[in-house]
Structure 1
């Protein structure tokens, strides 16, 4: 693809598009990892995951596609060195009960899926697949760890013995926290669990309310897990004993704010946390969502001190689709690590770069909003053809990789 063929952005500031790929005709992407010059992306609607050779970022080339098992999501994945970990869970957005996406983002998910009561016949695969990616273009399956229930939603793994996952298990209302022993990648094993009181229906706990109270995922620093618990805010967990995780603090600001907490990124050298509340409904139905800065000098008492600027160069609430945060780049150890610059996806407002050198006054310094996608991959009824940037990864050289539910892989240079 030449420069003339590249999509022309709706808006750009200090960011230049240098490469684009439709990922082999599967332009829908969710989680995105870069490993040894290859991009790994899970698909929301095309099933499975793809590998794209990005060693020449101006000319990315799809090299592999691995299909998912029947009725199963592989939307999230993790890479580190020669290992790739891929989630297996019920394909929620292919299910009749979630064709109206508002149903996915409210109430007790396990009750809707049928796993909380263990009343529904399973037609999906639930667990975690481990691949050898010593040759990134040819992932080789080496193990599968099954779980009983809806499956795994997202994993955190940066090498070593331990992985950490959000898991929808039989008898629970929603996704809980699980530690996984990866000492032998050919035989990963559950080590421990943590959940908030009220989630374990099978043990007689009681759940009330119409809000989503489940773990999206946790980011781990040392012996501390920072869990994003959707409408229950942030749950910080001591994992010094991986077999017995224990609560440090549960902090929730919803209400009055709209919930949907999605990422909790520690910046340990500055005693800060960046916390993202995901926008989950169209046209700002769930309100304006924020990316928060927290002071974390006292880990048992994190305090919010500021929010990121809200894009305002267009009327994004009227653009259709979701407007607001979805994901941030999570300082992967094999990519860029920065406690000064935060890269985020704002769905129909594209990719944003925020300078947090003054944590009390975050300042946007770059942005890139791709154009309308060529076609709609999202198969749910009534979905708009609009950009919905999903994930972002920044490599050690500072190249920015971002994907979309319909628009493919964008490779960008930050020019600030």
Structure 2
């Protein structure tokens, strides 16, 4: 067993396992399920299966290649199902060679799909692949949910009949919410959809935001009959999804401007009537401004009130370190994982993994930190700084945090709190 990489910084956290995922050291979303980690790759064209039954000795156990020109960067697991997004590999498209083009302006308009309706030929796969996980190291595809357009970005699925996906469809400016009926996972069908007014160009709607802004759904997290949806520069919506065929707006809040947008991840804490919302940092060296993770009081769902922000990591000059500094993903309290309404695990890109205690929601405190070592080599095919970019975090039921990186492999971290 080779020596573990020495972290740049740690506080009340220690590295217990690390893997380059069979030479594919790039990773985005990760699910840990029944002793195996499923790691979606942003650059290596597919997803990996890693045996983590002994988390101190993670071992590559398989790889499923993506179709040509296709992203499979997000995935979900529950029971015997694995759901994987299929979308155009945007960062391999000439329109998005400069990543700023992806984060500013409507993706559908940049690609030229926003004015279309009815579909057109595609050279990539667009939709959601459904796999059977009866054999965890050998996913077997059993179904596919196709869409006309760029494809699906992210999914929320925690079992049962309904999956909630963000989809770029022909005729729309950007990603909208689709609800997918998985009563028969071999034959998924659309149940309902929701978009912000102005997004449906094919229906004659006109956007009310500027050309340099992105009103597009990153994803929604659903608790009970409420979907908490983050719309990048469009802020936050709470949606009533009790009727899956007709999602209904409860409230729309947007704090951009004056803040810099990038609203990315929502984490509802229903037992405390709280909601955590992370705004993603999407530009190097804070060129898009200081981004925050917000605490909302949602006792009155129609009037969510921001009551605090998480403290910003400050052990070094992270804004000048290079690449992105600021929030990205939150551990989402999935069934079967670590579930807490007081401890929040969050990735902070070049500042690694952070743990926050919100026992007092008005005064969040940082109680753990881990900044992995810099990447040994760059998998990202764009010209990027060779610094850590911690991407996603999954915390298992034993409290071990599994953290992916754009280039630096999978880190398995123990929290001493």
TM-score by length of 2: 0.98
Q: Measure, in 1, the Cα distance between the counterparts of 2:184 and 2:394.
A: 28
CA shift in 2, pair 1:121/1:113, >3 Å? farther
Match of 1:365 among 342, 347, 367: 367
Deviation at 1:264, TM superposition (A): 1.2
Q: Does 1:64 align with 2:66?
A: no
| Per-residue Cα deviation, 1:155-211 (whole angstroms, up to 9, x for no partner) | 000000110000000000000001000101111111000001000000000124120
Aligned-pair RMSD on alpha carbons?
A: 0.9
Match of 1:12 among 4, 10, 13: 10
Q: Measure, in 1, the Cα distance between the counterparts of 2:356 and 2:312.
A: 11
Q: Measure, in 1, the Cα distance between the counterparts of 2:276 and 2:321.
A: 27
| Per-residue Cα deviation, 1:47-78 (whole angstroms, up to 9, x for no partner) | 11000000000100010100000000000000
Q: Which residue of 2 aligns with 1:302?
A: 304
Identify unmatched segments of 5+ residues in structure 2.
none
Contact in 1 for aligned 2:338/2:398 (Cα 8 Å): yes
Q: Which residue of 1 aligns with 2:111?
A: 113
1:168-183 to 2 correspondences below 5 Å: 168-183=168-183
Identify unmatched segments of 5+ residues in structure 1.
none
Q: Which residue of 1 aligns with 2:270?
A: 268
Deviation at 1:96, TM superposition (A): 1.0
Q: SS at the partner of 1:214?
A: strand
Q: Which residue of 1 aligns with 2:154?
A: 154
1:139-150 to 2 correspondences below 5 Å: 139-150=139-150
Match of 2:358 among 356, 359, 362: 356
| Per-residue Cα deviation, 1:274-319 (whole angstroms, up to 9, x for no partner) | 0000000111100110000000000000000000010001000001
Deviation at 1:378, TM superposition (A): 0.5
How many positions carry a matched residue from both structures? Answer: 413
Deviation at 1:117, TM superposition (A): 2.3
Q: Which residue of 2 aligns with 1:54?
A: 52
Contact in 1 for aligned 2:120/2:148 (Cα 8 Å): no
Q: Which residue of 1 aligns with 2:190?
A: 190
Q: Which residue of 2 aligns with 1:387?
A: 388
| Per-residue Cα deviation, 1:21-62 (whole angstroms, up to 9, x for no partner) | 000110100101000010001100001100000000010001
Q: Measure, in 1, the Cα distance between the counterparts of 2:22 and 2:112.
A: 35
Q: Measure, in 1, the Cα distance between the counterparts of 2:64 and 2:46.
A: 5
Deviation at 1:121, TM superposition (A): 5.3
Match of 2:324 among 322, 325, 332: 322
TM-score by length of 1: 0.98
